[in-house]
Amino acid sequence: MIARYNRHSFSKNMLIIREAQVAALAVAIFERRLYEHLRDSFPGRCAAMPYEAVMETIRAAIARARAHGFSEDEHVAQFVVIAFAAGLDFDLDPAAAEVLADERLRERRSIQIMQLLEAVNEQFQMPDAQ
């Protein structure tokens, strides 16, 4: 005898993943990928910090990037790397703040990130990956 499909009994056993859960998973994956990139790029610094301290720095830098209007993951990730290298509050430096406040660059985020990196490199002695 072949069992008949009963859509009501099938739907009771289905796993339902809500949008909020998918969004939370995407954030966790993004943070983890940033951690892995920072660990590979700055192995000494990451080894000297507890895992959770690195993750807190990543989350704080993501929040700062978003507060400055960065929404694309690529730009947020670049902001996080700069923050990890130059210091979480690098964006308060006058040269960096000027780049971040430039309205002309709001629609050209890739250029803004490049100018931000140049400003930070001039202001700070960016440490080698360590």
The full DSSP string for 17-73 is: --HHHHHHHHHHHHHHHHHHHHHHHSHHHHHHS-HHHHHHHHHHHHHHHHHTT--SH
CA–CA separation, 122 and 98 (whole Å): 13
> Which domain covers residue 44, as residue numbers?
19-123
Instruction: Note whether residue 52 is domain-resident.
Output: yes
Distances (CA, A) of 130 to 37, 47, 106: 13, 9, 32
Instruction: Note whether residue 129 is domain-resident.
Output: no
Residue pair 86/117 in contact (Cβ under 8 Å)? The answer is: no
Q: What is the pTM of this model?
A: 0.80
64's enclosing H/E stretch is helix 51-67
Instruction: Note whether residue 54 is domain-resident.
Output: yes
Q: What is the pLDDT of residue 36?
A: 97
Instruction: Note whether residue 3 is domain-resident.
Output: no
Digit-coded pLDDT (tens) for 14-33: 788 889 998 899 999 999 99
Q: What is the pLDDT of residue 122?
A: 79
Closest CA to 73 of 82, 65, 64, 85: 65
Task: Tell me the residue length of the chain.
Answer: 130
Banded pLDDT at 45 (limits 50, 70, 90): very high
Instruction: Note whether residue 77 is domain-resident.
Output: yes
Question: Count of domains in the chain?
Answer: 1
Digit-coded pLDDT (tens) for 79-120: 999 999 999 999 999 999 999 999 888 889 999 999 999 988
